[in-house]
Amino acid sequence: MATQKLVCIVCPQGCALEVDVEAGTVSGNTCKRGELYGLAETTNPTRTLTTTARIVDENGDFVDMAPVRTSGPIPKGRLFDAMKEIDALRLRKPIRRGDVLIADLLGTGTPVVATRDFD
Ligand code: SF4
> Residue 106 and residue 86: Cα distance in Å, rounded?
10
pLDDT of 61 reads 97
What are the b/e assignments for 86-111, b being 16+ CB within 10 Å? beebebeeebeeebebbeebbeeebb
Task: For 6-29, write each residue's pLDDT tens digit.
Answer: 999 999 999 999 999 999 999 999
Nearest C-alpha to atom 4 of ligand 1 is from which residue?
15
Q: In angstroms, how far is the first alpha carbon of the chain from the final one?
A: 56
Tell me the pTM: 0.81
- The binding-site residues of ligand 1, defined as CB within 6 angstroms of any ligand atom, are 8, 10-11, 13-15, 29-31, 33-34
Pocket mutation for ligand 1, best pick of 7, 25, 37, 41 (most atoms within 8 Å of C-beta): 37
Q: Determine if residue 14 is left, alpha or beta; phi over 0 gives left, psi from -120 to 50 gives alpha, anything else beta.
A: left
Nearest C-alpha to atom 5 of ligand 1 is from which residue?
14
> Residue 92 and residue 75: Cα distance in Å, rounded?
28
E strand or H helix at 41? helix 32-43
**Distance between Cα 52 and ligand 1 center (Å):** 30
Task: For 65-114, write each residue's pLDDT tens digit.
Answer: 999 999 999 999 999 999 999 999 999 999 999 999 999 999 999 999 99
> Residue 28 and residue 10: Cα distance in Å, rounded?
14
* CATH number of the 50-114 domain: 3.10.530
> Residue 78 and residue 108: Cα distance in Å, rounded?
9
Domain ranges within the chain, ordered by starting residue: 3-43, 50-114
**Distance between Cα 48 and ligand 1 center (Å):** 19
Q: Find out whether the peptide bond into 94 is cis, omega within 30 degrees of 0.
A: yes
Count the Cβ atoms, other than its own, within 10 Å of residue 29: 20
**Distance between Cα 35 and ligand 1 center (Å):** 8
